[in-house]
A and B are shown apart, each in its own frame.
Chain A
Amino acid sequence: MTGFTSLIIVSMVMTGCGSNSSGNSGNSSNSGNNGSSGSSAANVNNSSAPASGEKVAGGTVRVAMATEPDNLDPYLSAATDTGSMMDNVFDGLFEAGTNSELVPALAESYKVSEDGLTYTFSLKKGVKFHDGSDLTSEDVYYSYAKLSGLNGNKPLSSKFTAIESIDTPDEHTVVVKLKAKDAAFLAANIVAIVPKDYEQQSTKPIGAGPFKFASYTPGQQLVLEKNEQFYDNARKPVLDRVEFKFMPDANASVLALKSGEIDMLPGISAQGALQLGSGFHIVSGPQNMVQLMALNHEVQPLNDVKVRQAINYAIDKDIIIQTVADGNGAKLGSNMSPAMKMYYQEGLDKRYEPDTEQAKKLLKEAGYENGFKLTITVPSNYKFHVDTAQVIAEQLKAVGIEATIKQIEWSSWLEDVYNNAKYEATIVGLTGKLDPHEVLGRYESTYAKNFFKFSSSEYDELMSKGRQEIDENKRAELYKQAQTILAEQAAAVYIMDPSRSVALKDHLHGFTMYPVQKYDFAAMYYTK
């Protein structure tokens, strides 16, 4: 019997490989997993639910999270899910507003010099960290020096490498000088401010946010407690405690919500919402994600713009939204979600109306009258993208393109597709950012992870102009032009922004959707 031993063990390990668990932190396209939701028996709202009963002080909210935190230190973490939990512990100079605007948080006010190079921030007075120490300009200096590498170490964020120097003329003033004009810098100031010389953020994080970190038990839960000393009376937390429970299985989380063991389930699927029945309400809205089919511009015949346009004409996005997202998604025409109201270029979603004849004509002009073979590589753990690929493969058949779907594990996807651009077409969701440059900068020919292999000097020029334009409206105009180029060049097939749905117990209120994945528990409360 011992002869079989090694065989059994190896086969067990293999079983692990094959299973589509979400054990890994599938950061960016996290919600693509659960996709969209909506039409359910429960009550569906677009934003925060209006309170009907009387507000109750205190209470605990138990939230199901699909993934574990990648790192509790805000400077070492990149996972969207981690950010949405820990954002309650840390405050920055600004916080993200509901319309992708910046809301002053630790900053009282700020000034930008004429030349756009010097930013002067005035800090709020009397702000305390969770350990009781005062938050002063010294702490901001420490935080920004760490991020920009001005402390002598390697920088931790490329958004801060534009900083030339930081001055702290007094306890409540910070002056930041940039090397060159950088309009994206302001939005970077939502980053957490951490206490000076405190190096244990990875194990016991300390910030100045509305909730204090209480404990983290790997594989089980992360607990936050109310910060009684929170500086901003308008944003004072009502809840006593927030418990994030790590539940890798989406179906099991729905059942736990039904049985009353959790109170809130972000990213609930349409099927899950249907199962819920009464006693729950659902908040749903665009999540600022761009689901797209990327086409590798360095692969024959996708290097031909006519072929890419033909593919765009061949695909009926409305059908995808209906079948895959149950109708809960906003159709896209370029790499920008309508959730980014300020920067979104209207009308591009109508650039390629489904037209088989036009698609065939373009293919003929490109010399592919008889179609060609196309491999669509999809990360297998994102069922939403796999389903989309199936609909697309069917639609491409009508114009003679024979698409095969290749499912690969998320880790392999990151390596092969994202890092090395070894693919023909792939479907993925790109999470939105607060600043348009971070969204559209992916197509710059110099961007290291430009896995589209898109390259356009005109586009690059717009991007560098956008970086230097301080005037918000002019800047928005530049990014709108950039979106038009992406649509005209058919850089990819931009499919939809799938709605994100959050299920909450009926008497839990105050949840609001943001253009970034943000759960503001300070605004949430129970009613009787």
Chain B
Amino acid sequence: MRFYIRKLVTLASTVLLVSVITFLVFQVLPGDPAQIVLGVDADPHQLAELRRTMGLERPAAERYAAWIKEAAAGDLGESLRYHRPVKEIVAERMPVTVSLALMSLGLTLLIGIPLGIYVARQDGKFSALLLSALTQLGLAVPSFWLSFVLILLFSVAFKWFPSFGYVPWSENPAQAFRSLLLPSLALAIPGIAVVIRYLRNTLLDQARMDYVRTARSKGLRERAVMYRHILRNSLIPVLTIVGLLIADTLGGSIVVENVFALPGLGNLLITSIGTRDLPLLQTMVLYIAVIVVLINFIVDILYMVIDPRIRLKR
């Protein structure tokens, strides 16, 4: 129980800290939300009208305090740019980014773990060397470039997948999958490379441990040694990396959503910063903070599932 309370306090303080930092950074940035929406062609009267509807006459600190108060009561306010409840906008965008993150995580694990094991088992052979070289490439290549290569190959040349856009899952699951596959792959490739390299190294480290020799000497088959002992012990550090990768995915979605014109949170995050839409940005930062903290929480629990010793220590 104490464990959960401690986690909850961490969550609340993290979220508050992030929110305050975001607000302070926003105060340093120059820019008037109304002027940004309307641009240099704005009519002064139009500008005054928009400033009024946005409620910009009140000082920023006062607006922020009011927002915090309302947010605590569950009302996240209205976007300056879209003139709609922030909650609604985020709820529309959330499925895109969550699907993107889950699909890319799935791809990372499905491809990364088997290949990592393969590279470790084939250590020193040519195929393993080649794969290791490829992972170096996967690490070095930026997501936006990967996105363009994937589009050129699978959309322009083969025409297998659409190059942009999003179809909601509720409308057509098959099309939704198709529209998200390329972007999730672009997001997953650096992650796959990380998982392969990490898993290979820990597997090889673990394989030199005494308990492995013991297991072998008591006559366990190689498969059992590998999967029951070495792999299990190697998963802890990999899990830590995967937790970090998910947070990375949320950051990477900013780039990938832009290229594939996906209406997700990353795209919205950029718009909200560019348009100085503080209520919208604050809400998204809040959501992202909660998600990242939750992921850490899940990772902590998974540690205990994989390694009972951690459970005992507490």
The interface of chain A, by Cβ under 8 A from chain B, is 1-2, 5-6, 8-17, 19, 21, 23-29, 68, 70-71, 75-76, 78-80, 149, 154-159, 161, 202, 217-220, 245-249, 251-252, 255-256, 258-261, 409-412, 414-416, 418-419, 428, 430-431, 448-449
Contact = CB atoms under 8 A, between A and B. Distances in A.
Contacts of A29: 40
A157 B275 CA distance: 22
A369 B172 CA distance: 71
B45 interface: yes
B288 interface: yes
B159 A260 contact: yes
B151 interface: yes
5 contacts: A1-B296, A6-B21, A9-B285, A78-B37, A255-B151
A8 B14 CA distance: 11
A16 B254 contact: yes
A76 B50 contact: yes
B273 A16 contact: yes
Given A9-B292, A78-B46, A157-B45, A1 B29 contact: no
A161 B259 CA distance: 43
A71 B254 CA distance: 24
Given A76-B49, A248-B258, A419-B32, A431 B41 contact: yes
Interface residues of B, number: 77
B35 A419 contact: yes
Nearest to A30: B39
A219 B254 CA distance: 13
Contact of B163 (A2, A259, A416): A259
A15 B93 CA distance: 19
A28 B165 CA distance: 27
A245 B156 contact: no
B274 interface: yes
Contacts of B35: 414-415, 418-419
Given A76-B49, A157-B46, A252-B259, A414 B39 contact: yes
A159 B88 CA distance: 36
Contacts of A68: 271
B39 A13 contact: no
A76 B53 CA distance: 11
Contacts of B288: 9, 12
A5 B89 contact: no
B136 interface: no
Interface stretch (B63-71, B117-125, B262-270): B262-270
A72 B291 CA distance: 34
Contact of B254 (A15, A220, A246): A15
User: For the complex, would chain B's binding face be called helix, strand, loop or mixed by DSSP majority?
Assistant: helix
B163 A255 contact: yes
B44 interface: yes
B92 A218 contact: yes
Given A158-B44, A219-B93, A411 B36 contact: yes
Interface in B161-179: 162-166
Interface stretch (B199-207, B210-218, B243-251): B243-251
Contacts of B262: 219
A93 B281 CA distance: 41
Contact of A9 (B18, B156, B254, B273): B18
Given A10-B21, A79-B38, A412 B258 contact: no
B140 interface: no
B263 A219 contact: yes
Interface of B: 7, 10, 14, 17-18, 21-22, 25, 29-32, 35-46, 48-50, 52, 82-83, 89, 92-93, 147-148, 151-152, 155-156, 159, 162-166, 240, 243, 247, 250-251, 254-255, 258-264, 267-271, 273-276, 281, 285, 288-289, 292-293, 296, 299-300
A411 B299 CA distance: 39
A255 B148 contact: yes
A12 B251 contact: yes
Nearest to B162: A261
A27 B38 contact: yes
B275 to A, nearest CB: 5
Nearest to A412: B30
B7 to A, nearest CB: 8
A5 B292 contact: yes
Interface centre among B166, B270, B281, B285 (most CB of A within 10 A): B270
Contact of A220 (B165, B268, B269): B165
A160 B255 CA distance: 43
A418 B293 CA distance: 41
Interface centre among A9, A17, A23, A449 (most CB of B within 10 A): A9
Given A16-B269, A220-B165, A24 B36 contact: yes
Contacts of A414: 31-32, 35-36, 39-40
Contacts of B251: 8, 11-12, 15
Q: Which 5 A-B pairs have the closest CB atoms?
A: A27-B39, A219-B263, A24-B274, A411-B31, A415-B30
A246 B270 contact: no
A431 B46 CA distance: 18
A24 B155 CA distance: 27
A287 to B, nearest CB: 14
Contact of B299 (A1, A75, A154): A1
Given A25-B39, A448-B44, A12 B296 contact: no
A506 B42 CA distance: 37
Contact of B148 (A75, A251, A431): A251
Contact of A156 (B31, B46, B299): B46
B156 A70 contact: no
Given A5-B292, A70-B37, 12 more contacts: A11-B251, A21-B274, A23-B275, A27-B41, A156-B43, A156-B49, A157-B45, A158-B43, A251-B148, A252-B260, A256-B155, A410-B36
Contacts of B147: 252
B263 to A, nearest CB: 3
A416 B271 CA distance: 20
A10 B30 contact: no
Nearest to A154: B49
Contacts of A409: 29, 31, 274
Given A1-B240, A5-B296, A412-B30, A28 B22 contact: no
A258 B159 CA distance: 10
Contacts of A6: 14, 17-18, 21, 289
A1 to B, nearest CB: 6
A507 to B, nearest CB: 19
A178 B155 CA distance: 58
A218 B142 CA distance: 28
Contact of B261 (A5, A157, A159, A249): A249
A217 B263 contact: yes
B36 A25 contact: yes
Nearest to B152: A255
A449 B42 CA distance: 10
Given A258-B156, A411-B36, A13 B269 contact: yes
